[in-house]
Amino acid sequence: MQQKIISAPTPFYPSSDGKPMAETDWHRKLLMAKALVTLERLQTEKDDAIK
pLDDT at residue 6 in the model: 86
Q: How far apart are alpha carbons 49 and 42 in whole angstroms?
A: 11
pLDDT at residue 33 in the model: 96
Q: How far apart are alpha carbons 27 and 38 in whole angstroms?
A: 17
pLDDT at residue 1 in the model: 66
Per-residue pLDDT of the chain (51 residues; tens, 9 = 90+): 678 888 888 988 878 888 877 889 999 999 999 999 999 999 988 777 776
